[in-house]
């Protein structure tokens, strides 16, 4: 290979390019080493030190424990019907109530229609963040403490947990609307309320419906586990089967949860397809 | 007597921003079809939006129907807007609503919030809307959604919506700019006919000077927020037009 010595300018560029490439190799090498150390340390702390190896025993023991769960407790299924329906209803009622809570949240949280920006906008954003950053189980624990055991706590937990996402998406849709109709409704002498109902709502309604169906589908999953903390539905049965060491019963509950989730997905798929 | 009297109107969008209108004065009388012409950015849209205060003027006076507009409070302003119909360049229809609902929205100023929520308009409003839709040639499209119509048809819905208000003045903001030349002429003629029929004076922003001279009896020419010409259409000539549009030639 001939060098670039004949062309000093090009040669300088070549030096710089080579230097840059060498530096980026060092950097990626250093990053790889750092990452490996971090992973090794994590595995040591969380898996090696934190696991009760004596209790796990041999590989055969692990397999035996797993095999407890293989098989269904068919006798349990009739008893799952009511909790399954309850789970679905918790999801439906929770989503509906959440939607009502979204009205003020989305109204205050859309910068272009919020009544008094310095106060109402941060308030709405706080509501949304609070709703989303606290896990549904934690919300359910809170509401079980407030209204006692049962489906009511589940409905409230789902509702409050749903506000964040629905309101955020709705508020963003409102911020993106076409202002033409707003101007037109103002020009005929319409009030702010009329502007919202006549010029804004029709524009964002398809997005709201789509988001609500999506959230409802997720809420079925959520309500299926809320029973673990005493908020009704299939989760409660799951918890009971686990406590009585009826492992086949546990599997039956998981199958039931799977069925209603698939049902929810199917329903949401058909509604979406009909809408579009 | 003048229906609308504008005196020394100034407007700017922000305290530090440029002044868009620099002291505009004119009068619109009954039976006037009053054109505002001028190049893009001259302040035509701002001027027309100051009349019903979709844009707040910074100073000056607007007297409409014997009432000072610039000092009105919110409720009074909404009452005033009921008497001023407006037609927009981009039609500004609610696309996802039916033609009927769009025309009925012209009555919102007279409709309670509860009725608005359920879109429960009284029978006479529906009758009125139907007769207007028949008049603008859309009686076969009553139940269609607004976004299913062509541009010319949408603007006819816009006309019907404005007339639904029984306005005492019509503001037309470039009503034909989004339409092709043939449809533009048809729409403009329809507006003019309806205005004469219902004896509503019109104040019209218009880009097409030829169309303006055909339809309007008075013209005000703006350039960069300043009045360059004001008078009867007959007094307008090429030289003055050149002056108004001088910025564009450059």
**Does B93 lie at the interface with A, CB-CB under 8 angstroms?**
yes
Burial (Cβ within 10 Å: 0-12, 13-18, ≥19) of residue B130: middle
Clarify whether residues A244 and A108 are in a common domain.
Answer: yes
Q: How far apart are CA A125 and CA A117, in angstroms?
A: 11
Burial (Cβ within 10 Å: 0-12, 13-18, ≥19) of residue A50: exposed
Q: What is the DSSP letter of B18?
A: P
Clarify whether residues A180 and A82 are in a common domain.
Answer: yes
Q: Has residue A141 been placed in a domain?
A: yes
Clarify whether residues A136 and A26 are in a common domain.
Answer: no
Q: Do A203 and B108 touch (CB under 8 A)?
A: no
Clarify whether residues A45 and A89 are in a common domain.
Answer: no
Query: Which among A187, A189, A198 has the least Cβ separation from residue B94?
Result: A198
Clarify whether residues A20 and A137 are in a common domain.
Answer: no
Q: Has residue A65 been placed in a domain?
A: no
Q: Has residue A67 been placed in a domain?
A: no
Where helices occur in A43-76 by DSSP H, the ranges are 53-56, 59-67
- The residue count for chain B: 250
Clarify whether residues A82 and A188 are in a common domain.
Answer: yes
Q: Has residue A68 been placed in a domain?
A: no
Q: What's the complex ipTM? A: 0.92
Domain count, chain A: 2
**CB contact at 8 A, A189 and A125:** no
pLDDT confidence band for A2 (50 / 70 / 90): low
Clarify whether residues A231 and A154 are in a common domain.
Answer: yes
Q: Has residue A57 been placed in a domain?
A: no
Q: Has residue A166 been placed in a domain?
A: yes
Clarify whether residues A224 and A106 are in a common domain.
Answer: yes
Query: Which among A185, A187, A203 has the least Cβ separation from residue B96?
Result: A203
Summarize pLDDT for A66-98 with one digit per residue, the tens: 888 888 888 888 889 999 999 999 999 999 999
For chains A and B, count residue pairs whose Cβ atoms are closer than 8 Å: 79
Cα-based distances in Å from B108 to A186, A197, B132, B147 = 9, 11, 17, 21
pLDDT of residue B250: 44
Give the Cβ contact number of residue A122 at 10 Å. 13
CA distance A189 to chain B (A): 4
Q: Has residue A59 been placed in a domain?
A: no
Clarify whether residues A168 and A45 are in a common domain.
Answer: no
For residue A22, the enclosing domain spans 3-51
Clarify whether residues A45 and A171 are in a common domain.
Answer: no
pLDDT of residue B233: 86
Which chain A residues are closer than 8 Å to B90 by Cβ? Answer: 180
Which chain B residues are closer than 8 Å to A188 by Cβ? Answer: 81-82, 85-86, 105-109, 161, 165
Which chain B residues are closer than 8 Å to A206 by Cβ? Answer: 96
CA distance A119 to chain B (A): 22
Residue in the structure block whose two tokens are 């998406």: A169
Q: Do B161 and A184 touch (CB under 8 A)?
A: yes
Q: What is the CATH number of the domain that holds A85?
A: 1.10.3720.10
Residue in the structure block whose two tokens are 């034909």: B176
Q: Do A186 and B54 touch (CB under 8 A)?
A: yes
Clarify whether residues A45 and A120 are in a common domain.
Answer: no
pTM of the model: 0.81
Q: How do strand B202-205 and strand B33-37 relate by DSSP bridges?
A: parallel
Clarify whether residues A109 and A29 are in a common domain.
Answer: no
Q: pLDDT tens digits for chain B (250 residues)?
A: 789 999 999 999 988 889 999 999 999 999 899 999 988 888 999 999 999 999 999 999 999 999 999 999 999 999 999 999 999 999 999 999 999 999 999 999 999 999 999 999 999 999 999 999 999 999 999 999 999 999 999 999 999 999 999 999 999 999 999 899 999 999 999 999 999 999 999 999 998 888 888 889 999 999 889 998 888 888 888 778 887 887 554 4
């Amino acid at each position: 290979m001939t060098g670039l010595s004949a062309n000093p300018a090009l040669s300088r560029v070549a030096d710089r390019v080579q230097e840059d490439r060498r530096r980026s190799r060092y950097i990626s090498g250093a990053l790889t080493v750092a990452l490996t150390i971090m992973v090794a340390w994590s595995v040591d702390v969380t898996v090696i030190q934190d696991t009760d190896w004596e209790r796990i025993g041999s590989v055969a023991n692990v397999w035996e424990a797993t095999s407890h769960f293989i098989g269904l407790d068919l006798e349990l299924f009739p008893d799952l019907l009511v909790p399954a329906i309850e789970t679905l209803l918790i999801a439906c009622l929770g989503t509906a109530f959440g939607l009502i809570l979204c009205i003020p949240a989305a109204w205050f949280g859309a910068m272009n229609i919020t009544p008094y920006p310095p106060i109402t906008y941060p308030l709405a954003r706080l509501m949304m963040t609070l709703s989303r950053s606290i896990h549904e189980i934690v919300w359910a624990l809170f509401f079980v403490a407030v209204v006692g055991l049962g489906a009511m706590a589940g409905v409230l937990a789902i509702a409050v947990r749903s506000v964040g996402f629905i309101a955020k998406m709705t508020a963003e849709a409102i911020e993106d609307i076409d202002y033409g109709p707003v101007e037109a409704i103002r020009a005929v002498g319409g009030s702010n309320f009329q502007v919202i109902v006549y010029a804004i709502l029709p524009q964002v309604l398809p997005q709201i419906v789509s988001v609500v169906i999506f959230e409802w589908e997720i809420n079925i999953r959520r309500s299926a586990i809320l029973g673990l903390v005493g908020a009704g539905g299939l989760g409660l049965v799951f918890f009971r089967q686990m406590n009585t060491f009826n492992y086949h019963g546990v599997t039956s509950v998981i199958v039931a949860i799977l069925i209603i989730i698939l049902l929810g997905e199917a329903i949401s798929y058909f509604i979406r397809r009909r809408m579009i | 007597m003048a229906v609308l009297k504008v005196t020394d109107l100034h407007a700017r969008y922000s305290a530090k921003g440029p002044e868009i209108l620099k002291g505009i004065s004119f009068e619109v009388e009954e039976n006037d079809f009053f054109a505002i012409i001028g190049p893009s950015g001259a302040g035509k849209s701002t001027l027309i939006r100051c009349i019903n205060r979709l844009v707040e003027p910074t100073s000056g006076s607007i007297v409409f129907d014997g009432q000072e507009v610039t000092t009105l409070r919110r409720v009074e302003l909404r009452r005033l807007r009921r008497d001023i119909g407006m037609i927009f360049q981009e039609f500004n229809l609610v696309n996802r609503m039916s033609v009927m609902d769009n025309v009925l929205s012209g009555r919102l100023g007279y409709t309670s919030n509860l009725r608005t929520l359920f879109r429960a308009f009284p029978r006479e409003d529906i009758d009125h809307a139907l007769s207007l839709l028949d008049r603008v040639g859309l009686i076969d499209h009553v139940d269609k959604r607004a976004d299913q119509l062509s541009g010319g048809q949408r603007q006819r819905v816009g006309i019907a919506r404005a007339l639904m208000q029984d306005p005492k003045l019509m503001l037309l903001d470039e009503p034909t700019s989004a339409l092709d030349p043939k449809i533009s002429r048809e729409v403009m003629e329809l507006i003019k006919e309806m205005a004469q029929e219902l004896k509503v004076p019109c104040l019209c922003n218009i880009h097409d000077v030829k169309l303006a001279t055909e339809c309007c009896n008075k013209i005000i020419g703006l350039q960069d927020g300043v009045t360059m010409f004001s008078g009867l259409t007959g007094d307008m000539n090429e030289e003055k037009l050149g002056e108004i549009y001088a910025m564009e030639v450059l």
